Amino acid sequence: MSMPPARLAILSGVLGAALMLQGCLVGAVVGTAGAIVGGAAQATGAVVGAGVDVVTTSDEETKAKREREQRDHEREQRRCEQRQRQGRDC
């Protein structure tokens, strides 16, 4: 069973581009190629969107990380002050 030339060209182009990418992006591109070849263009946005969501950090995640680091810093400062009162180095 042979594929129409247009589909073959699209598949070749997408697979060629996939070879130039690295890491987890390859999976997203291959998934996108499958969506294009299968004719489900709506799935393309979902695959790319999911790939972008995985590699980006939300504002809530950034804020939570900053707060966690601040608490850790304050905890270490308290421990240092306690050691200094006991006559030890930090």
Give 18-55 pLDDT, tens digit per residue. 766 655 555 565 566 666 656 654 555 555 566 666 67
* Residue of higher predicted confidence among 89 and 46: 89
pLDDT reading at 77 higher than 70: yes
Listing DSSP states for 11-77 in one string gives: HHHHHHHHHH--THHHHHHHHHHHHHHHT-HHHHHHHHHHHHHHH---HHHHHHHHHHHHHHHHHHH
Q: Confidence band (pLDDT; 50, 70, 90) for 4?
A: confident
pLDDT reading at 11 higher than 80: no
pTM for this model (two decimals): 0.38
Asked whether 57 and 64 are in contact (CB, 8 A), the reply is: no
Distance CA 29, CA 76 (A): 45
pLDDT reading at 75 higher than 90: yes
Sorted by where each begins, the domain ranges of the chain are 1-56, 58-90
pLDDT at position 89: 87
